[in-house]
Amino acid sequence: MDYRDTPEEAIFRQEVHDFIQKESPRNIMRGEGGYGGQGEAWKAWVKKLADRGWVAPAWPKEYGGAGMSVMEQFIFNWEMAEARAPRPGGIATGFAGPTLIVHGTDEQKQKYLPEILDGETVWCQGYSEPGAGSDLASLQTRAIRDGDDYVVNGQKIWTSGGHMAKWMILLARTDPEAPKHRGITYFIADMKAPGVTVRPLINAAMTHEFNEVFFEDVRIPKQNIIGEENRGWYLAQTTLSFERSNIGGAVGARQGVEDLVTLAKTSDVSTLKSNPGVKHELVDRMIEAGVATQMSLKIISIQAKEGVAPGHEASVAKLYGTELNQRIARTAMKVLGLYGQLDAKSEGVDASRFGRYKYQYLRSTANTIEGGTSEIQRNIIATRGLGLPRA
């Protein structure tokens, strides 16, 4: 790995840094669970990003993106993370937009892409089902052709932002007789259509991000198919040239430990003096955050130099990063002792400051499940990275 920026990369990094320092608002409020923006400050910030193509930096310029290389994206993501600058994105820019760019009709692109770039329209992803999570191709939600529409019945689960979404990218089975990876079609579903029911799933931290979504005789017009009928599984694998280093997660982990060190040194409730082991744990967490950064640098080096998407390396980083989040959360509980039980609404001591750590501890339990479980990541590392036989 070459840790140095090229002269061109250094100029770009400074450009991004200066832009954020000048234009990024502080303490911006976002929607529940990080979905959707609120207020004029958020809209103004998104407009400034959009003017540079930085809402969706990987998208081609002709579609409103910046056409950045993976290394430019890496630098951009790193600087945004270092500044803790708020960003639009998620399912809309990462999944729906790229699929439409590659496989959508001109009419679909003209209708949906501009509203993705405005940073206000929320999309959600209708993939997982109660019996089809890790084995997604086993999904059973059905879509049956009826004239110019498809009638959809079934259930999706763990739908992030579904309660705020306008549109869903939906995988449904259109040919039950075909092998399971075939016979699946990719739809755009209107989340306000008759027959769509969204029910909240409250996580252990008592926040509402996930949902279960039920479809009961929901009619989707045939023009809402992306690509070809029965080819949805292959479309679902579509991405643009996104950088996959998760540098934002690595930077966030380091910043989280730095905040925790500051708390341990300055708070009257810190156990730092009474529990010497806390100091060693904080050192361990900081070293581990550095390791996560090195993993990110390795991944971007593979992408930039070899021009290929990382395989098992991304699974290593995901597995390590999510388990690190949990270790940081456990260390935070040790730093705070009994005060770690406070939440932001508790009375008395500076609960608003401590409450984030209770939330972090409870929320981190899901990190090793969402986005591909630790078990799945270990299987990928074993088979694709180490060449071991499939279990």
Q: Report CA-CA distances (Å) from 305 to 88, 151, 299, 310, 316.
A: 28, 47, 10, 12, 19
The answer to whether 243 is a known catalytic residue is: yes
**For residues 70 and 304, what is the distance between their CA atoms, to the nearest angstrom?**
6
Cβ neighbors of 347 (< 8 A, separation 6 or more) are none
Q: Which of 212, 243, 288, 313 is catalytic?
A: 243
On whether the CB atoms of residues 315 and 263 are closer than 8 A, the answer is: no
Residue 250 identity (one-letter amino acid): A
Query: Quick one: 92 exposed, middle or buried, by C-beta within 10 A (0-12, 13-18, 19+)?
Result: buried
Cβ neighbors of 56 (< 8 A, separation 6 or more) are 63, 64, 65, 66, 89, 93, 97, 116, 117
At 15, list the tokens: 């450009």
State the DSSP string of 136-162.
GGG---EEEEETTEEEEEEEE-S-TTT
Axis crossing angle, helix 312-336 with helix 247-266, rounded to the nearest 10: 10
**For residues 379 and 388, what is the distance between their CA atoms, to the nearest angstrom?**
9
Cβ neighbors of 259 (< 8 A, separation 6 or more) are none
Q: What are the E-state strand segments in 4-147?
A: 123-126, 142-146
User: How distant is the alpha carbon of residue 163 from its chain centre?
Assistant: 17
At 239, list the tokens: 């991405």
Cβ neighbours, 10 Å, residue 301: 18
On whether the CB atoms of residues 96 and 111 are closer than 8 A, the answer is: no
CA angle at 98 for the pair 140 and 89, rounded to the nearest 5° = 95
Catalytically active residues are 243
